[in-house]
Amino acid sequence: MFELAAPTALQWLIGVELARYRNEAGFSLTQLAAACGIGKPKLSHLETGRTTQFPGDLRRILTACRVDREDVARMIQLTTRAHEASWLGAWTDVVSDWLRTMVGLESLARREFVFEPIVLPGLVQTSAYASAVTDAATRVSPDVASRLVEFRMSRHRLLHKENPLELHAVVNLQALHLRVGDRELMNEQYRHLVALGALPDVTLQVLLPEAGPHAATTGQFMLLEFEDARPIVYVEIQDAGVFVGEAGRVRSYTLSTHNLERIALSPAESAALIGSLIT
């Protein structure tokens, strides 16, 4: 697991990939430094994302790790991507490093699967819902609450850009029944969910208690998939975020997504249920 305060999401993601390949090759940092001719301190900074990873350095490292040409090309391609999370700069004074990293990774992802058992996921919240949730959070001071809501709403651009993020959200019925604000606010939120579910790149499913035990009883998680990097899992805890990159653990979460998708209501059934809650 990685608990981090990375400089940028893109550099952090490349660094995680470098560490994965080094570990798969069975190298320590000292051994890799000898094999590729790059100093151990620099290798460490490259893996944490604290030093910009240039294509030449990546090629030397990956060649030493005996990585296939196709994967080397994929990694080089990753370094050329424009950093799509540059819009985060406006909120650096109110958003923690771990949250900024999560949203940066989200901006780079092609697909997101999120499971939320208690509240609705941030990407599907209305502004009023997000405001009410933020106001209820005792750790958020009133002077930054409104800007934090603006930040949350800015994430929605990912669902409406030219190549939108593919979102698959599974929520417990409890999350739909959690009373946030008044009835008018909840009706607005339900209508918003129905409208989002009709988008071609958004899939919403509701998990009923009657479905019984499932593979995600430990709680909320997010699985992010990328074009040029392997998946990352994000788990939110109080006042922090944990990022899971180890292949075996990521696979466990991936299997959990398959289980949730199978036992939850279908998207059509979920839309009907959500619509029935509008009064």
CATH number for 24: 1.10.260.40
44 domain-assigned: yes
According to DSSP, the β-strands at 166-172 and 202-207 are: parallel
Residues 115 and 189 placed together within one structural domain of the fold: yes
71 domain-assigned: yes
- The per-residue pLDDT for 3 is 42
CB-based contact 195:181 (threshold 8 Å): no
What tokens does 150 get?
Answer: 């603006």
- Return the amino acid letter for 195: A
Residues 48 and 99 placed together within one structural domain of the fold: no
3 domain-assigned: no
2 domain-assigned: no
User: Which residue among 60, 79, 98 closes a domain?
Assistant: 79
Residues 109 and 75 placed together within one structural domain of the fold: no
User: Which residue among 54, 79, 104 closes a domain?
Assistant: 79
Residues 55 and 93 placed together within one structural domain of the fold: no
- The per-residue pLDDT for 1 is 46
155 domain-assigned: yes
Strands (E), 21-124: 111-116
Residues 212 and 113 placed together within one structural domain of the fold: yes
User: Which residue among 25, 45, 79 closes a domain?
Assistant: 79
- CA distance readout (Å), 267 to 13, 75, 169, 263: 32, 35, 10, 12
Residues 179 and 265 placed together within one structural domain of the fold: yes
Residues 68 and 91 placed together within one structural domain of the fold: no
101 domain-assigned: yes
Q: Rounded CA gap, 22 and 28, in Å?
A: 7
**For the whole prediction, is pTM greater than 0.95?**
no
Q: What is the pLDDT along the chain (279 residues), one digit of tens a residue?
A: 444 444 578 888 889 899 999 999 999 999 999 999 999 999 999 998 888 889 999 999 999 999 998 889 888 888 877 555 555 555 566 667 777 788 888 988 999 999 999 999 999 999 999 999 888 876 666 666 777 788 888 889 899 988 999 999 999 999 999 999 999 999 999 999 999 999 999 999 999 999 888 988 889 999 999 988 899 999 988 777 889 988 899 999 999 999 999 999 999 999 999 999 999
Q: Rounded CA gap, 102 and 220, in Å?
A: 14
Residues 95 and 57 placed together within one structural domain of the fold: no
Q: 68, exposed or middle or buried, with CB in 10 Å at 0-12, 13-18, 19+?
A: exposed
- Total domains in the chain come to 2
CB-based contact 15:75 (threshold 8 Å): no
164 domain-assigned: yes
Q: Rounded CA gap, 89 and 183, in Å?
A: 35
Query: Which residue range is the domain that position 99 belongs to?
Result: 87-276
1 domain-assigned: no
CB-based contact 33:43 (threshold 8 Å): yes
Residues 59 and 136 placed together within one structural domain of the fold: no
CB-based contact 62:74 (threshold 8 Å): no
Mean pLDDT for all residues in the chain = 88
What tokens does 30 get?
Answer: 């000292």
CB-based contact 133:80 (threshold 8 Å): no
Residues 50 and 181 placed together within one structural domain of the fold: no
Residues 18 and 94 placed together within one structural domain of the fold: no
State the CATH number of the domain containing residue 110.
Answer: 3.30.870
Residues 133 and 179 placed together within one structural domain of the fold: yes
